[in-house]
């Protein structure tokens, strides 16, 4: 066949369109879910100041529901509680906190003495943050990689210091306690479902202490309601949801098709020591109705839902092979 300039232009234009369409199609088939298991929204239940009833009341309820939460503690206050100096507002013990951590709950940093960091010198601020990290790690066995600002007091310098070597800090929160009513709590659930949001609670007292609930049943009923919506709401620690959302926003995927096989190469340009939560891949069933998945030769479990296929993958785990069936 003899090619003129015109029909060569047609051939190259057609080739460009094929490549372009292929690229668009690949993006339609695979995507990384905004939240784990492609839930619609997310909640982190977080509890401040290490009150004893966080262990005696909250911990058993969370375990009953299968929820994991975050407990922000001041190491000096826990020490004072163990010495008997906090009798009016009893505190958890390090041993109790360690038991909670062993069950998958997050024990993290709320400052060594709960000082307002915006009023601290740079040296005082570093001590409040870093010393509390070291004590929690020594007592619990896990170094905190999140932070909660004492008194919610922060500015750009405090945020910069507290964010170093962490997956996130609690910048915003939804306060629950003495002013909470079923109507307020239900409205918040409706809002995050509608807007695909993640929010962190701020809870202090349960039956005593700062901002305690008017009745413990208000919190219990709210937790039960969230449990009833677990197909739509991801309940996770502040650490896990912080890491997941940043990974999801940063992940890069290289895609290649070989017949009925897709090769996906993930690249996550974050610190693996901090950001190591598995991500959820969504497969569009309108394009690929069934598949098997392996990463680095190891079979990955898939969830075959009416409109999509889901599987969790290691963002640092190398090549993913998806075979259509």
At 302, list the tokens. 């898939």
Q: What CA–CA distance (Å, rounded) separates 85 from 62?
A: 28
Q: What CA–CA distance (Å, rounded) separates 247 from 268?
A: 7
Tally of domains within the chain: 2
CB contact at 8 A, 159 and 171: yes
Same domain (yes/no): 210, 289: no
Question: Residue 311 domain-assigned?
Answer: yes
Same domain (yes/no): 293, 188: no
Question: Residue 45 domain-assigned?
Answer: yes
Of residues 210, 211, 204, 206, the one with CA closest to residue 179: 211
Task: Return all residues near 323 (Cβ < 8 A) that are at least 6 apart.
Answer: 260, 261, 262, 291, 292, 293
CB contact at 8 A, 180 and 218: yes
Question: Residue 23 domain-assigned?
Answer: no
Digitized pLDDT (tens) for each residue of the chain, 325 residues in all: 333 334 333 333 333 333 333 344 555 899 999 999 999 999 999 999 999 999 999 999 999 999 999 999 999 999 999 988 888 899 999 999 999 999 999 999 999 999 999 999 999 999 999 999 999 999 999 999 999 999 999 999 999 999 999 999 999 999 999 999 999 999 999 999 999 999 999 999 999 999 999 999 999 999 999 999 999 999 999 999 999 999 999 999 999 999 889 999 999 999 999 999 999 999 999 989 999 999 999 999 999 999 999 999 999 999 999 998 7
pLDDT for 27 equals 54
Q: What CA–CA distance (Å, rounded) separates 178 from 91?
A: 20
Same domain (yes/no): 116, 203: yes
Question: Residue 156 domain-assigned?
Answer: yes
Same domain (yes/no): 69, 150: yes
The Cα-based distances of 125 to 65, 78, 130, 197, 241 in angstroms read 37, 19, 8, 31, 26
Same domain (yes/no): 45, 104: yes
One DSSP character per residue, 29-55 reads: HEEE-SSGGG-SEEEE-EEES-BHHII
Question: Residue 187 domain-assigned?
Answer: yes
Same domain (yes/no): 199, 97: yes
Give the global pTM. Answer: 0.90
Tens digit of each residue's pLDDT (9 = 90 or more) over 4-55: 334 333 333 333 333 333 344 555 899 999 999 999 999 999 999 999 999 9
Same domain (yes/no): 130, 192: yes
What's the CATH code of the domain at 124?
3.20.20.370
Q: Domain limits at 217?
A: 38-242
* Runs of H (alpha helix) within the chain: 5-29, 52-53, 59-65, 75-82, 94-102, 122-140, 156-163, 182-195, 216-228, 238-250
The Cα-based distances of 176 to 6, 47, 181, 182, 200 in angstroms read 70, 10, 9, 11, 10
Residue located via tokens 């709401």? 233
Long-range contacts of residues 181-186, Cβ cutoff 8 Å, at least 24 apart = 181/218, 182/218, 182/221, 182/222, 185/218, 185/222, 185/225, 186/225
One DSSP character per residue, 118-135 reads: GGS-HHHHHHHHHHHHHH
Same domain (yes/no): 227, 280: no
Q: What backbone torsions phi and psi does residue 67 show, to the nearest 5 degrees?
A: -95, 145
Same domain (yes/no): 128, 229: yes
CA quadruple 323, 254, 296, 259: dihedral sign: positive
Question: Residue 74 domain-assigned?
Answer: yes
Question: Residue 93 domain-assigned?
Answer: yes
Same domain (yes/no): 95, 183: yes
CB contact at 8 A, 69 and 202: no
pLDDT for 21 equals 33
Task: Return all residues near 97 (Cβ < 8 A) that are at least 6 apart.
Answer: 50, 55, 71, 73, 78, 107, 139, 140
The Cα-based distances of 267 to 165, 257, 272 in angstroms read 20, 18, 11
Same domain (yes/no): 224, 276: no
Q: What CA–CA distance (Å, rounded) separates 251 from 237?
A: 21
Same domain (yes/no): 235, 275: no
Last residue of a domain, one of 216, 242, 268: 242
Tens digit of each residue's pLDDT (9 = 90 or more) over 140-149: 999 999 999 9
Question: Residue 222 domain-assigned?
Answer: yes
pLDDT for 182 equals 96
């Amino acid at each position: 066949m003899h090619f003129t300039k015109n029909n060569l232009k047609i051939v190259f234009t057609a080739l460009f369109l094929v490549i372009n369409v292929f690229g668009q199609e690949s993006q339609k088939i695979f995507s990384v879910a905004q939240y784990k298991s492609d839930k619609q929204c997310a909640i982190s239940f977080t509890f401040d100041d290490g009150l004893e009833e966080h262990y005696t009341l909250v911990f058993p309820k969370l375990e009953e529901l299968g929820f994991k939460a975050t407990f922000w503690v001041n190491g000096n206050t826990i020490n004072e509680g163990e010495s008997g100096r906090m009798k009016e507002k009893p505190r958890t013990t390090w041993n109790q906190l360690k038991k909670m951590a062993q069950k998958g709950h997050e024990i993290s940093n709320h400052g060594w003495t709960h000082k307002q960091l915006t009023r601290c010198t740079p040296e005082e601020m570093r001590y409040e943050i870093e010393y509390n990290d070291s004590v929690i790690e020594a007592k619990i066995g896990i170094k905190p990689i999140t932070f909660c600002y004492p008194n919610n007091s922060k500015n750009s310098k405090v945020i910069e210091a507290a964010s170093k070597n962490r997956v996130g800090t609690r910048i915003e929160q939804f306060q629950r306690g003495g002013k909470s009513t079923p109507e307020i709590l239900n409205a918040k659930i409706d809002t995050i479902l509608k807007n695909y949001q993640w929010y962190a609670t701020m809870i202090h007292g349960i039956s005593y202490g700062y901002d305690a609930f008017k009745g413990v049943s208000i919190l219990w009923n709210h937790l039960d309601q969230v449990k009833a919506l677990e197909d739509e709401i991801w309940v996770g620690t502040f650490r896990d949801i912080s890491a997941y959302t940043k990974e999801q926003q940063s992940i890069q995927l290289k895609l290649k098709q070989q017949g009925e096989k897709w090769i996906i190469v993930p690249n996550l340009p974050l610190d693996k020591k901090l950001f190591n939560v598995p991500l959820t891949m969504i497969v569009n069933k309108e394009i690929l109705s069934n598949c098997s998945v392996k990463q680095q030769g190891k079979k990955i479990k898939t969830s075959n839902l009416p409109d999509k296929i889901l599987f969790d993958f290691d963002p640092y785990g190398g090549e993913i092979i998806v075979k259509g069936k």
